[in-house]
């Protein structure tokens, strides 16, 4: 069955441009940092004159400034969350994920200091300019943490792999630089190299306990009004779930049963193919009646859209022949009606059906919260 996407209201251009410019900006900052560290270590391509390498380094910095402007402006113009123009200059004052967004603002301020002093370099003492230029090294890890903590695509495999790759590239460059240095002593250099080599693993460990976990949007400081957004024409926590409500999508999965007390537990799990995509799992506690039929006493549902950290959980409101009426909510947000229809016997190794999400079942079946056998 083809997906029917309803209520496609509003343009996503600003949102996608903000996300794309942020990722490209991180790539440019990473390459420029690697190039700067390498230049300071005395490296340059054999066929390139030194001034050409420095020109590339300078032009990458200018490109980063342009991308930074695009990133900030698109975020401010996007009406989804009220970031506020003041938050683009002052760290940690935004109502949306204040700490993680504040890290981005802090990185912006550090880069601005570097750019301004570079423009005024001829009027500054060399040691003053060099001291400020070192802020570049601090702005990069701050920008990386901002990307991991605020970025709405961190749980996408390729995005996370890209971010970890940036860490690995910088770590390898720093190790190369320290290994070639004549100072400090060899033992101290070894300790520094070991500490830098541990950085990618530290990022992996922290991410596994934080941004990659369900519910990170709430813990990161996303306003409740944004978490609960799910009206037709909206996108819920945009970028967290990429959810368009309502939608109709095909469901492909399996159903199996296992003994549980005086009855059995039936688990229906599979992929939603269309709409917001993702995985849907329904767990039913059932007992067998004298005539062989199954009576469902209770049921729990978990729905994870294809992207983002938003997780919908809820209950089975009613059970009918080939149909499950559900209500699902993103944590403390308002619940959405849903219905899963299954064709074929349950349990079975392969089942198919249709998921109607955000669409009230015909006739309001099950709205009283009761359950049918």
Domain-embedded: residue 235: no
pLDDT tens for 195-213 read 888 888 898 899 888 888 7
Whole-angstrom distance, CA of residue 30 vs CA of residue 195: 19
**Residue 72 burial (CB count, 10 A):** 21
- pLDDT score recorded for residue 224: 54
Phi, psi of 163 (to 5 degrees): -65, -45
Domain-embedded: residue 260: yes
- Asked which of 213, 234, 258 is the last residue of a domain, the reply is 213
Domain-embedded: residue 254: yes
- Which helix (H) or strand (E) covers residue 171, if one does? helix 157-180
Which positions ≥6 away from 331 have C-beta within 8 Å?
Answer: 215, 218, 227, 311, 313
Same domain, 82 and 184: yes
- Asked which of 169, 192, 213 is the last residue of a domain, the reply is 213
- pLDDT score recorded for residue 105: 93
**Residue 318 burial (CB count, 10 A):** 20
Same domain, 197 and 262: no
- pLDDT score recorded for residue 200: 86
Q: Which residue segment(s) compose the domain that 169 sits in?
A: 7-213
Which positions ≥6 away from 55 have C-beta within 8 Å?
Answer: none
pLDDT at residue 81 tops 70: no
* Selected residue with higher pLDDT from 235 and 354: 354
Which positions ≥6 away from 175 have C-beta within 8 Å?
Answer: 193, 196, 197
Q: Where are the alpha helices (DSSP H) in 216-372?
A: 216-219, 224-227
pLDDT tens for 29-60 read 999 899 888 887 777 676 777 778 778 888 88
Same domain, 251 and 115: no
Which positions ≥6 away from 306 have C-beta within 8 Å?
Answer: 242, 272, 276, 277, 278
Same domain, 209 and 252: no
Angle, vertex CA 51, rays to CA 45 and CA 56, nearest 5: 70
Angle, vertex CA 311, rays to CA 245 and CA 225, nearest 5: 65
Share of the chain above pLDDT 70, in %: 80
- pLDDT score recorded for residue 182: 67
pLDDT tens for 306-341 read 866 678 899 998 887 778 889 888 865 667 888 998
Whole-angstrom distance, CA of residue 197 vs CA of residue 7: 49
- pLDDT band per the 50, 70, 90 thresholds, residue 164: very high
Domain-embedded: residue 226: no
pLDDT tens for 232-284 read 333 344 434 345 567 888 899 998 888 877 788 889 999 998 878 889 999 98
Same domain, 277 and 209: no
Same domain, 255 and 207: no
Domain-embedded: residue 222: no
Phi, psi of 286 (to 5 degrees): -130, 155
Same domain, 160 and 299: no
Q: What is the CATH number of the domain that holds 296?
A: 2.40.128
pLDDT at residue 11 tops 60: no
Same domain, 193 and 336: no
| Least confident among 36-50, 83-97, 143-157 | 36-50
pLDDT at residue 117 tops 60: yes
Same domain, 157 and 252: no
Q: How many domains does the chain contain in total?
A: 2
Same domain, 26 and 106: yes
Place of tokens 């054999």: 46
């Amino acid at each position: 069955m083809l997906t029917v996407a309803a209520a496609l209201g509003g343009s996503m251009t600003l949102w996608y441009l903000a996300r794309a410019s942020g990722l490209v900006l991180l790539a440019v900052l990473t390459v420029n940092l690697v190039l700067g560290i390498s230049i300071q270590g005395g490296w340059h391509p054999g066929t390139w004159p030194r001034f050409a390498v420095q020109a590339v380094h300078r032009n990458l910095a200018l490109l980063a400034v342009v991308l930074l402007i695009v990133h900030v402006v698109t975020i401010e113009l996007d009406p989804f969350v009220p970031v506020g123009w003041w938050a683009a200059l002052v760290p940690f004052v935004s109502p949306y994920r204040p700490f993680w967004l504040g890290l981005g603002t802090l990185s912006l301020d550090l880069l601005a200091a570097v750019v301004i002093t570079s423009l005024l370099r001829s009027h500054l003492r060399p040691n003053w300019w060099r001291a400020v230029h070192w802020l570049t090294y601090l702005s990069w890890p701050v920008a990386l943490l901002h990307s991991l903590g605020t970025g709405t695509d961190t749980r996408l495999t390729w995005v996370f792999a890209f971010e970890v790759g940036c860490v690995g590239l910088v770590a390898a460059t720093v190790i190369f630089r320290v290994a070639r240095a004549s100072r400090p002593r060899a033992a101290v250099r070894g300790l520094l190299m070991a500490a830098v080599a541990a950085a990618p693993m530290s990022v992996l460990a922290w991410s596994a306990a934080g941004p990659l976990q369900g519910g990170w949007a709430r813990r990161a400081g996303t306003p409740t009004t944004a978490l609960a957004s799910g009206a037709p024409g909206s996108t819920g926590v945009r970028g967290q779930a990429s959810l368009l409500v309502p939608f109709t999508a095909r469901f492909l999965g399996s159903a199996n049963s296992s003994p549980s007390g005086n009855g059995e537990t039936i688990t229906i799990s599979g992929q939603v193919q269309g709409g917001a995509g993702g995985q849907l799992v329904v767990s039913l506690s059932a007992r067998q009646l004298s005539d062989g039929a199954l009576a469902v006493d209770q049921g729990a549902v978990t729905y994870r859209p294809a992207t983002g950290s938003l997780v919908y959980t809820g209950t089975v409101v009613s059970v009918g022949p080939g149909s499950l009426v559900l209500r699902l909510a993103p944590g403390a947000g308002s619940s959405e009606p849903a219905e899963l229809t299954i064709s074929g016997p349950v349990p079975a190794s392969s089942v198919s059906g249709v998921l109607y999400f955000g669409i009230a079942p015909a006739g309001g079946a099950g709205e009283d919260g009761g359950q049918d056998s």
